[in-house]
Structures are given as C-alpha cells and as structure tokens.
Structure 1
C-alpha cells in the first residue's frame, strides 16, 4: 500500500528558502501526496535545487479513529526531529573542514616525518599521496554526503545495507579518538596555565618537583664544542634529563615505570581533562550552529599565530640552518619503503578520510554547493598549512641547536615530546618567553579542539540517526556522551598516562586503510562511479571526466591494498625510550585496532542472515532478497529525489 506523506508548506519554513515556490498539477487535496515503489506523486515543485531541510515530511498515519489526533502529534514531534540543519554559509563548511584537518598531527608530526625520511625528499611522497589518496577519497565521501544529506551510518545503510558496518566503524574511530585526544587537550591547558608564571616553571631545576638527574642548559652563549654524539641530548635515552623533560615527566605526569603501574589519579590532570570536556561540550551542544560560529576563531587564529611565530623565529640566530635542515632533501631515503608508508599514513592521520567526519560535515551543505571544488581545495590547503608550520617549528629548533651547538636530529622528536618538551625548551631562549609560550599553547588548543568538535559531532549524529530518542534532548544526550568519554579517559589521568596514550595513538588508525578499501568498493562498484559523477553534475553543473571512474575502480583500490599490506608487514611495537611494552599491552593495542574493522563483517553477516531467515518484506526469491543488500533502499530514493529535484511526479 502506498505511503502517504504530508508536505509542510508553513510560511515560516519557506522563508528559509525564498527562491523556492510550488505549483500543484492538478489542484491537490489538502497538500497530500503519495509515494509508491520509490516514486513521488501528487506535487510538482518548480524550484532551484535545495537541501532536504527546506521541506519537512511526516508519515501520515493510515489508521482511523480517536487515536489519529494523538498519532498526528507524535508525527509532528518526529517531523521536527527529522529536520536537518544546514550551514549558514559556505565558509562555515570550509572552515569546519579545515579545522577538522589542521590538527596537532600537521603541526607536530609532519615536520618530524620530514626529518625522519630525508627532509625535503619526504615532500615528494607526501604530496604525491595527497593527490593519489586524499583528494579522490574527499571527492567520493563529500559528494555522496552532500547529495544524500545523510550522516555515515544512515548513508551506508541506505546506499547498500550490507555495508552499514562502515558507518559504525566511523563511529568507533571517532569515539576512541575523542577519549585520548581530549587528554592531550587537557595537557595543553595545563601548560597554558603554567605559561603565565614568571619565571616559567620549566626554566629551572630549582623547584619542589626537581629530580636528582635534572640539569639546566647554559643559554647565555652557544657551547664552544660541537656535539656530534646525540646521546648527550637524546630525549628519554639517558639518565640525565633537561628541565623541560623533568617538568613533563615528573611535575605534570609523575610518570611511572611502566604501563602496568597506574598509581593514583593526579588531580591537576583530572581538572584539566574536565576543563577540556567542558570546552568541547559548550562548543557542540547546539550542533553545527554552535561550532559553525566557533570555527571562525579557532581556524583563523592558528594562521595568525603561525605567522607571528614564524616571523619571530626567522629573526633568531641559527634559524636559517634549521629551515635548511627542514628542506634539504636526502634522496637516497626514498629508496626504502619507510618514507612512502609514513607519507600515506600521515594522510590518513592528518586529513582524516574514512573517519566519517567529512561525510557528516558535507551532509549539512546546501544541495547546490560546489562540493567538487571544496573537496579538492580543502586537503591541499591543509597540507600547505602543515608545510608552513614546518618553517615555524624548524626556525626555533635551529636556534635551539645553535645554542647547544649540536644537530637538530639530536633534539627533535614528534608528538607530545615536541609539544611539551622541545618547544617549551626553545622559548626559554627568547625574550619574554611567557608571551611566546602562551601564543604557542593557544595555537595548539585551537588546533586540537577543532578536530575534537567534528569527531564528537559525527559520533552524536550517527547515533542519533540510529536511536531517535537522542534527538529529543540534544543537549542532554551530548552531556551524557561527554560524561561517558570523560570517565573512560580517567586511566590517562594516572601515572601511566603517557604509556596508555601512546598505545591508543599508535594502534588506533593502523587498519583504517582496510576501511577505506571497503568504502571505495561500496562507492565505486556498488553505488557506481558513474552515478557519483552524475550526482556532482546535478549539484554543481560540473562534468567530471571519465578518468575518475577508472581511477576510483582500479588504481585507488590497488594503492589502498598495497598500503594495508605494507603497514602490516612493517609494523613495529611502540617503545618509550628504552621501555618495551609488555605482551599484554601489545595485545590490547591490536584489539583496539580491530575494533575499527569488526563492524564491517558483523553488520554484513547480520544483513545476510536477516534477509535469509526473517526479511522485513516478502520477496519472490532468495536471490531477490539478497540483491537488496547491494542496492539502494526506498528511503535513499525518496530523499535523493527530494534533495535534487524536489517532488516530481
């Protein structure tokens, strides 16, 4: 029996889209139309393309009697929940994508990978994979998301039900990231608060938290002899510790001897973690309307701060040598697999394809937004920002190496070591170090919270699509999710915090290339690469070349498969200086990595069993029932027709 739908033509809703207008053919009764077999009948809407949010649909109850009024009220409440908000402007979307992409990995990890893999030579595989991996995946994800207006679980569940697990994989990826990434935000807040002390607490060993092995570097003049043995300055690999290392390990973390030694909760770290989640919640509790405004500050400020730090850095003695060290290529390094694997993994880690956030962000676009342009420009801008950040970082590292009269490779490390040990040490060489320390840690804070906003909102919207009750009180649902995430992060407020963080960060995205592989199969083969090109043309008027079909179907899949194999073959267990993680910790890491891919077979098997033994509708044959698992659902066709053409008879 055809379903009845009611078209809401309330003038207040139409004011959102003043260019749209409807004409009935013929005069319809009571604004009712019917949908049968995925087709829409009754109304013909003559208008420019507009997003699904411009009209509201509600299922008319087919039952009669006294319950109709109550059911109608329930339908109206559901209709209000169903309305999908859109960005107030294109720049909100672009800035949100940039904020999601330009995270700590770009500023702290990218320069380290350049040094590890041949300096300027690393730029070749990095920008090559930017074009070969990031841009094609961005075009795939963002185009389909904008065309459908759906978030990951709903999108994959309707585009091909057997691939619904991809959406759940996105949720788990974001969920795990939120837990340990918020801890880093807490550490940043800890350093930011301590940046206001005069003198800076990490400038001297003469503090209550001092260690017997703490030593201070003479910063009044460069060392007379050039240190060629990096072991004297190699972080974590010697008994003696610089004051910044001691501050990080003893004062902030009071780090234990191993991952098994948790100790107790450190109250100052718990307070900063709580503050981090309060900031995150206040920015996302109203959805994209709240953080859509926040990104104007949190995305634009890093560019101002980076430029300021770069200008100050290049004026320091030794900065030229630091920048040259950053850019000078060591081409023989490219003869090994390591630079190529690191470059591809950096693309997945820093640009975040297959995490679900890009789909969530693009699903809130207006239908006619030029998504093809945005999908190409945003990853390129992000990568160029990482490249710019490298100049600023290495200018200060060059000055630090000049003071110590040693090589940059002796002092440079990645991740938290770079943020909380190397740079705090570098600012001690500057006049008014408090100012530069505050600027740097505010920069890190804005970079980190932008990424956290997007992954948290992705997780919420996916779950809200599956469990509609979460939409009734968005602020309360997000508050509960915030509290749960905070509680799960408590182990990283103990003395084993750094070990747990490193394990989660090391293994979390190890198997994302497999998720990307399955996603490309779903988009390019099941949905169809030709349909994606047509979708882009419908939305933007841009005709994509057929070369995209070939690339998505063969080379992209081959690159992802090769990357997965090389990642598994070359994988090494993490270490922390001389500390080796026990077997139990390694097992935990691989279990964590597996949680990202487990939803793929679980939901595929569930779909197969459901269609085989208890299908929701009756089919003529088992073959027909199974075919529906790799075809678009009725909801997909309805929403797409509404999104693209309005209601067309």
Structure 2
C-alpha cells in the first residue's frame, strides 16, 4: 500500500469558536496568504493500483438490482423503448452525481462526513448519507444470507424445492409444470413447491409484523457466516478490499456468460428475449415509465450513500476521475442490459415448459431470485449445478456491494476522529463494532416475522425518496453554496483539464430539477406498504417506516438549524457572518483554492494546491 509523500501544510481561513463563526478578516496574513498553525491531518493510504479503485466501484455499484430489477422494469415499461428514458437519465442525473461524489472524495481526501467541510453549514449531508448506508448495510445482507442458504441447499442430490414430499410442504403442494395438465379447480389453486420452500422453510413466515415468532437458527448461522466474510474483507481497509474485488467483481460476469450460453440453447429462450426487447412505443407517454427509469438510475448507481465518496478519497490526487466516472457508468448500465438477456432467456424457457405466457412468470426483486429462477433451474438437466452457479453469482454480486458499503460507513466514522488515527487496531475495532451492531439488528429479520421487518427497511430507509432527497441537496450545496465554477476549477487542478460544461449545468439546474421532480412524484403517489399485495402493514408499522426514512432526511435541515442557532449576534449580524463565511471573495486567492478550504483538506491535497499556486495557477 502506497502512502502520500508530502509534508504538512497548515492553512486556515475561518474557524468555529464558541458557537460563533469568525470570518477570514480576523486572521493575520503571511506572504499574502491567510495562515494559522493547525495540526496536519494524517496521511491517507491510497490504492496500490488504480485498477483496485475501478474494481471496487464496479463491485459496489453493480449489484443485485442490475440482475433482478432492471430486466423486469425494461419488460414492464415497453421493452427496448425503456432504454430511451433510461439513457437520458444516465446523462442528466446518473453520471453527474456519480462523478460529483467521487470527485469530492478525491479532492477532499475524506469520507462521507468530512467531505462536506467545503460547506460546513450543510455537514448534515454527510450524516444523512451515513444513516442511509448504515440501514442499507443492515438489511441488504439478508439477501446474501438467503442466497447463501440456497447455495448450501443446491449441493443436495435433489433440489429441495423441486418436490412436495418434504416436511414443510402442505396438502395443497402440487408438482405440476404444464398448464394443460390443470384439469380442475383444485389443481389450479395448488401451491408450487418452490413457493412453499421459500415461505414455509426459508422464511417460516408468520401472519404479520406483530407476530415475530421464533428465530430461524439455520438462517441465523448463514447470516453470521456472511457477516464474518464481510468483516475479513473490510478489516484491513483498501489493502484487503482492493484485492478481493478482483474476484468478487469479475467472476459474476463469468457466471452470467455461462448462464446466457445455457439459456439461449433452451426451448422458448428466443420468445423470452423478444418479450424483453420488443418495443411498445405507447409506453413513452406514461409518466410511470420515466419515473421508473430515473429511480432505477439512482438505485443502480449507488448514489447518495457516501460510499463512492469514501472510495474516491483513496485515489491519488491527480487521478482522472472524470474518465473513470464515464467508464464505470457504462459498465454499470451495460451489465444491467446484458443481465436482461440472461434472465429472460431462462424465463422464456420456464414459460414454454409450463405452457403459459411469459408475463405469468416474470418477477423482480426477491421473487425473481428465490422463486422464479430456482423454479426455472429445477426444470433443467443437472439442476443442482445450475442452481449452485446462480446462487454463487448472487452471493458475489451482493458481497462486494456489502463490504464496500461497510467500508464507506467505517471510513466516515474514522475520519471524525483523526487524533486517534494511529491507535493500534483502530480500524479493526471499528469494523467489528459496525458488523456486530448490524448483526444484532438483523436478528429481527431471521425470525418468523423477519420478512415484514426486511420490507420495512427496504421500502422506507433506503427508498427512492431518501436517495433523491440526498442527491438533490448534494447538487444544490456543491453548485450554489460552494460554487459550481469553483468546483470545476478544483477538478481541473486534479485532472489537468476542465470537464465539459454540461456537467456544471447539470449540477446547477438539470439534475436538481430531475431529483425533485421524481421525489415529488413518489411523494404524491405514495402507497401504504403491503406484503404480496395481501397483507397490509398496521399503522404503527408505517410510523416505524417513516421514522426510518425521516431519520436520514431530517439530518440536513436539523444540522443546519443547529449550527445557525449556535451563532451569536442579531439575525442581521448572523446573516452577514454566514455570507462572509461561505461567499467571501478572499475564499480564492488569484487562481488558487481558498485557504479556508485548505484548512479542511488532507496534507496531500493541500500540498498539491500549494504547488499549483506556486506555478501561477498553470494546469
């Protein structure tokens, strides 16, 4: 692992003292630059190779949603026509914020909280992203626990979900695969063995949220095993994650290719692929299609979680993050599109075998991963092999997303306490506490009522509304508080050239409007949470859900009000002090970065900017 080779440069423009904001005019100038002695921030480790960063971003952003959500949305929203709004939102929302988060981390050399030292009044953005990613880390790993459970069961000689002669099966379980075999109402109302395996064996689901029931010990051991994997992937920082992602981020592509080759050779595969791609141009006139496209971008690009900022903070200062952002965006979206061929070739085969329309078997989310796909592979020759391959791929897709999410959370926490940076085993202890705390919360999700708890977290804590709210404020703060032109200058100092102006226009106008528009649509079209469209959550369950959502969304205004309430003086004095604090003309010296910003930078970034100024601002 390489370290940044630099000396301490300590510069300060403004400070917070006893609740009062002191503008730059109260400091002494030295050689034309406002300086004051402060303790240098510790050296920050960097990626051994830049490819470590690329692989980590691929592993984090390319996850389960690319395989189980995008293909279904594409089929549901007009097939190939869905790509029009999807690609449009990539360039209007996805890439601009994806690039913004990576560039912020690289420039400030800080995690999701300290990176907002560029606008301290809005540091609540950092706390909000920490809350969101903590909730994601808590519930997302349950999918990995289920996948690990299915993977273990796939090594049986006969897949346990392919027959009705198991202890968890009911009298209504029917091993029937062809539609024309249904001759009476009793058979038509029967239950598939895969559904009974999922609900009666894996989940052992109760009747509602108010009936948590007993722990599922098998599932709890799977959960523990996955958390142990995550811990040992993250405990040594980017030194360990940078190596592991070479396997976890690339091997799923090998499995996808193998599954595609197998899928296209099955009967009915062509019909499935055509169902996936066949354009329905009338869908473009439906608002829901555009909303689904925009929401999917924010989900699949992992925006608003702070993890991309943490990954970017380990880059070298002069890394071309602009080029990286475009490349990673194309890999992410390309994977989503490619996965659709894999999924619908298999679904086409399953529909053909059952003699039903593909719309009857198309699923998204856990329904695809743990019901539709296992049912499809059970129809294939050598079914356990294909089942094991699929669930191994599912486990890897989720694992790297999970441990990068944990890395982002831990990085933010450790950056808050730089004074104890050299404490022995500091990182290992922080990662252990994070994993243990999440595991304890997860125990509520391995009970008989655990699925209801899981859905609460999934529907509210990291929903489209929370991510869109976060992305909106990120753009507003960077473009209008810190300054879009200033940030473009900072990027130019890092990568050697200014990004195309449309990036600035997106941050300032287009992307915030897109985020707020989709946010309001979600808010106005809010529907109470249900399970399987049958069970309706009680009112207190919805209250818990909204508390999860608001716990991150309120971080931004609450933090802002708290900082303002601590400022002394009349309202007019406070207003002018804030104005000086944020928008002071001396925040920039000629072409150099403002010394107030420098006081909050790492040693490496501060020295890079000092060298830039010494050259007269030449890139």
Q: TM-score range by the shorter chain?
A: 0.7 to 0.9
Cα distance change, pair 470–176 in 1 and its aligned pair in 2 (3 A): farther
Cα distance change, pair 471–318 in 1 and its aligned pair in 2 (3 A): farther
Residue aligning to 1:630: 582
- 2:466 counterpart of 1:506: no
What pairs up with 1:95-134 in 2 under 5 angstroms? 95-134=55-94
Contact 1:641 1:647 in 2 (8 A): no
- 2:567 counterpart of 1:611: yes
- 2:145 counterpart of 1:186: yes
Query: How far, CA to CA, are the matches of 1:642 and 1:232 in structure 2?
Result: 76
Which segments of 5 or more consecutive residues in structure 1 lack a partner in the other structure?
A: 1-12, 23-30, 43-57, 61-78, 615-619
- 2:43 counterpart of 1:83: yes
What pairs up with 1:551-630 in 2 under 5 angstroms? 551-577=506-532, 578-612=534-568, 622-627=574-579, 630=582
Contact 1:143 1:532 in 2 (8 A): no
Q: After TM superposition, give the deviation of residue 415 of structure 1 in Å.
A: 0.9
Query: How far, CA to CA, are the matches of 2:320 and 2:341 in structure 1?
Result: 32
Cα distance change, pair 449–558 in 1 and its aligned pair in 2 (3 A): same
What pairs up with 1:282-297 in 2 under 5 angstroms? 282-297=232-247
Contact 2:276 2:340 in 1 (8 A): yes
Cα distance change, pair 636–312 in 1 and its aligned pair in 2 (3 A): same
Residue aligning to 1:51: none
CA deviation profile, 1:198-239 (whole Å, cap 9, x unmatched): 111111011111112211124xxx555899xxx999xxxx95
Counterpart of 2:568 in 1: which secondary structure? helix
Cα distance change, pair 628–607 in 1 and its aligned pair in 2 (3 A): farther
Q: After TM superposition, give the deviation of residue 533 of structure 1 in Å.
A: 1.9
Which segments of 5 or more consecutive residues in structure 2 lack a partner in the other structure?
A: 15-27, 32-36, 584-595, 615-619
Contact 2:108 2:602 in 1 (8 A): no
Counterpart of 1:612 in 2: which secondary structure? coil
Query: How far, CA to CA, are the matches of 1:356 and 1:517 in structure 2?
Result: 14
Query: In angstroms, what is the RMSD of aligned CA positions?
Result: 2.9
Residue aligning to 2:107: 147
Cα distance change, pair 213–644 in 1 and its aligned pair in 2 (3 A): farther
Residue aligning to 1:517: 472
Contact 2:164 2:173 in 1 (8 A): yes
- 2:607 counterpart of 1:642: yes
The two structures have a TM-score, normalised by structure 2, of 0.88
CA deviation profile, 1:518-564 (whole Å, cap 9, x unmatched): 11011111121112222222222223233333332122222122111
Between stretches 313-322 and 376-385, larger displacement belongs to 376-385
Residue aligning to 1:169: 128
Query: How far, CA to CA, are the matches of 1:130 and 1:337 in structure 2?
Result: 17
Query: How far, CA to CA, are the matches of 2:296 and 2:562 in structure 1?
Result: 34
CA deviation profile, 1:444-474 (whole Å, cap 9, x unmatched): 1111011111111111111112244587321
Cα distance change, pair 326–598 in 1 and its aligned pair in 2 (3 A): same
Contact 1:166 1:515 in 2 (8 A): yes
Cα distance change, pair 209–351 in 1 and its aligned pair in 2 (3 A): same
CA deviation profile, 1:410-444 (whole Å, cap 9, x unmatched): 11211111111111100011111111111101101
The two structures have a TM-score, normalised by structure 1, of 0.84
Counterpart of 1:152 in 2: which secondary structure? coil
Contact 1:280 1:452 in 2 (8 A): yes
Query: How far, CA to CA, are the matches of 1:471 and 1:418 in structure 2?
Result: 46
Aligned length: 579
Cα distance change, pair 440–144 in 1 and its aligned pair in 2 (3 A): same
Aligned partner (choices 335, 346, 351) of residue 296 of structure 2: 346
What pairs up with 1:39-54 in 2 under 5 angstroms? none
Contact 2:11 2:38 in 1 (8 A): no
Query: How far, CA to CA, are the matches of 2:192 and 2:158 in structure 1?
Result: 17
Query: How far, CA to CA, are the matches of 2:134 and 2:235 in structure 1?
Result: 17
Cα distance change, pair 471–314 in 1 and its aligned pair in 2 (3 A): farther
Cα distance change, pair 252–32 in 1 and its aligned pair in 2 (3 A): closer
Q: After TM superposition, give the deviation of residue 484 of structure 1 in Å.
A: 0.8
Q: After TM superposition, give the deviation of residue 171 of structure 1 in Å.
A: 0.3
